Amino acid sequence: MDQVKGTLILLVPLVFLQTWLHCVALNPTRPCPSKQCKCLPDSKLVNCTGRAMTFIPVLPSYTRVAIFTKTTFQNITREFLFNLTLLHITSLSFVDTLSHTIHANTFTDLTNIKTLEISRNYQVAPDSIPPILQQTPRLQTVKLRSNQWSVIPQDMFRGFHNSSIKTLSLSNNNIQFISGRYFSDMRYLQSLDLSSNKLFDLNFTGFESTSISSVNLGNNDFHTIPSFCGPNGNPTGEYKSLYFDQNPLRDLNKSSFRCLLFLQKLYLDETFLKTIRSYAFATLPRLETLSLNHVHVSFVEGFALNSSSLKSLYFKHNAYRFEKFPQVYSELFSSLPNLLLLDLTGNFLPSDSKSLRELFTPLKKLQKLILQDSGLKALPRNVFQQMPGLRYLVLIGNYISGWNDDPEVFGNVSSLRSLYLDGNNIKLVNKTSFPEKFLNSLSNLCMVDNPFSCTCELKWFVDWIKSAKNTTIVNYPRRYICRFPPEMNNVLLMDYNPTTEMCLNVNYPLIRNICIAVFIPSTFILIAISVTYKFRFRLNYWLHILGIKRVGYTRIQDDAVYEYDAFVIYSNDNRDFIFNHMIEALEEKAGCRLCIHERDFDVGRFILDNITTNFERSRNIILVLSRCFLESEWCKFELTLTQLKASQEGPGVLTVILLEELDMARLPSSVRAILDTVTYTEWSVDTAGQNRVWAKVLTALNSGIKNRN
């Protein structure tokens, strides 16, 4: 009897203590352990961090997700988790907790737990995990990441027939070998993450007994796509999503993806593909999303993107030069009849309308087209009209300055709802820039970071922005800024308020006097000038062509002093222009000798020495001016030498070719000084215009020789 009394005396305080702890834990006003934990009541999440933490504190009653990082929980037992058993915990994470022992029955009292993470605990052995998982039957998601496991026991997941685990992550370990048979008993397994390991091959046999649909093999060492076929050539699973990004894959062909009859999403980003061969994806009858970003592929064969089921294609940041392969324009997207989204950000597209029509005309169902940073210099004609369902168009970060109010650019485009023209070179927008019907159909228009010219010509656009009711002007007014004229630089477009009176305030008497003084005594002269002016380009062109054919390039007797007729200053970004146009026109046809730094500089010498030496060896200088030129430090140095040579020998030594329209007000003073003293010629996209350019260059080179003699 005394013994019973003694036992009761001991039990009563314990029961009282447990009841008190239970009441404290369930107290809705229980504060967050602020010194150790960060609590988010809306998310029902508590994250506790700190090496000084050696036990689990009492957490707020709303806690559903508990995360412990960088703590000191060396021995995790069932009793150790007592404070959690009083809560409705559904997700529990131990990340870098210095744990070395976790008992098999540790989580049996957490009857609501569905997600368990044990990561970055390097002393936890992989063979200690199976008993834990088997005694926690309601688990659906298990994360065993970054534990530095190089070997996984073959029977690690054996006997898991009744397990409810659907998602398993073994990412960021050092696993070198694993196969589908390791997981064959996990019949409910749907998603497996094996990314960031050291796998170079994987036998998928065994997955057919699971419910697998997603496998992540990113950031491993796969040089080829492994086979998804079983021993009898049958599919090993109904895979719907595959991740092969950040693998050293070299090649894709039409046999790479056999036995993937259910695949819907395929990610091949940051691989080393050089060529994507025709029909590489033709064996994927249900493919809907294909991602090929940062691949830097050299060539995409004509029918490589052959997929009648594909809906979204991401081909971003590959620096792929479409203009190099015009022979495949009509084939490249021709086998994508159901494509809804196309993202070509960070590539180089041709700017001429004909080529773009060949590329995009087959995409009749396209709804979203992203051509950001794609090198476009002009908007194409009769292209967007070929996409009757196009709703979202992104043209950010190109070199578009305008489209001459051409009605064939946006005319009859009625489906578009969002247009993004950010970061181009658009100075003016007036009433005829966009057709009225097109403008009224837009829900979103974004034109931030364009160098607007705040003159009366912009008045219509300023007024329209303020009155637009059905169209959202994205990011207005913060990033709509005037750049011209100089006195308006950095003024917000919102603060530019031209009135009708201001724009009509013209000095009519002065104009009348000028007209009388100039027009009346010059009537007959102006008639002759008007006729000449009407045909000025043709006359100028034929005069130059006749002069070149008769004279060519004149080489004088003392040319022996100079090794080159001209030193060419250009940015490496413009090398295609040099090698595809200039060398052919001036060297191969006209017989000039040009100094091209990529070709003629001496290997092994300092760049500085090469520049100065070849400057002295060259009779003239040809300056190829572009935006890229202004960003090159070496080009700036060469420009300094050019000014010195011009000051010594006269401006006749310098010939300037302007590759693209530049903002004269924002040019460096040294460049403006050159353009003020030297007549420059602007590059043209048409053949006749290009011939005029070369004729003027050769004339300048010849006249420079005669002037110095």
Q: What is the pLDDT of residue 588?
A: 85
DSSP for residue 304: T
The dihedral of CA 235, 236, 241, 242: what is its sign?
negative
Residue with tokens 């004909």: 354
Determine contact, residues 516/663, Cβ cutoff 8 Å: no
CA distance 588 to 581: 10
Q: What is the pLDDT of residue 519?
A: 52
> In percent, how much of the chain has pLDDT > 70?
86
Burial of 357 (0-12, 13-18, 19+ CB in 10 A): middle
* Confidence band, pLDDT 50/70/90 cuts, at residue 502: confident
Query: Can the peptide bond before residue 498 be classed as cis, meaning omega within 30 degrees of 0?
Result: no
- Which residues lie closer than 8 Å to 147 by C-beta, 6 or more apart? 118, 119, 120, 121, 122, 124, 126, 173
Tell me the range of 314-328, 505-519, 521-535, 610-624 where mean pLDDT is highest: 314-328
HSE, side-chain direction, 13 A CA sphere, residue 67: 14
Which has more pLDDT, 283 or 615? Answer: 283
* Confidence band, pLDDT 50/70/90 cuts, at residue 617: confident
CA distance 481 to 476: 10
Whole-number CA gyration radius for the chain: 36
pTM of the model: 0.69
Q: What is the pLDDT of residue 528?
A: 60
Does residue 24 carry a pLDDT above 50? no
Tell me the range of 448-462, 524-538, 586-600 where mean pLDDT is highest: 448-462
Type of residue found at 397: G
Q: What is the pLDDT of residue 66?
A: 96
Does residue 361 carry a pLDDT above 80? yes
CA distance 92 to 72: 16
DSSP 110-121: -TT--EEEEES-
* Spatial CA neighbour of 332 closest among 660, 197, 347: 347
Does residue 550 carry a pLDDT above 50? no
Return the beta strands (E) in 190-259 as ranges. Answer: 191-193, 214-216, 241-243, 251-252
Burial of 33 (0-12, 13-18, 19+ CB in 10 A): middle
Does residue 574 carry a pLDDT above 90? no
* Confidence band, pLDDT 50/70/90 cuts, at residue 571: confident
| Average pLDDT of the residues of the chain | 85
CA distance 361 to 289: 21
**Count of helices and strands (H, E) across the chain:** 19, 31
* Spatial CA neighbour of 58 closest among 91, 41, 82: 82
DSSP 121-167: -TTS-GGGHHHHHHT-TT--EEE--SS------TTTTTT-TT----E
* Confidence band, pLDDT 50/70/90 cuts, at residue 520: low
| Tokens encoding 651 | 């401006």
Q: How far is CA 389 from CA 235, 273, 280, 666, in A?
A: 37, 32, 28, 40
Determine contact, residues 621/567, Cβ cutoff 8 Å: yes
| Tokens encoding 490 | 């950095």
* Confidence band, pLDDT 50/70/90 cuts, at residue 21: very low
| Tokens encoding 470 | 């059905």
Q: What is the pLDDT of residue 692?
A: 86
Does residue 511 carry a pLDDT above 50? no
Q: What is the pLDDT of residue 682?
A: 87
Q: What phi and psi values does residue 369 have, to the nearest 5 degrees? A: -125, 120
Least confident of 311-315, 522-526, 619-623, 665-669: 522-526
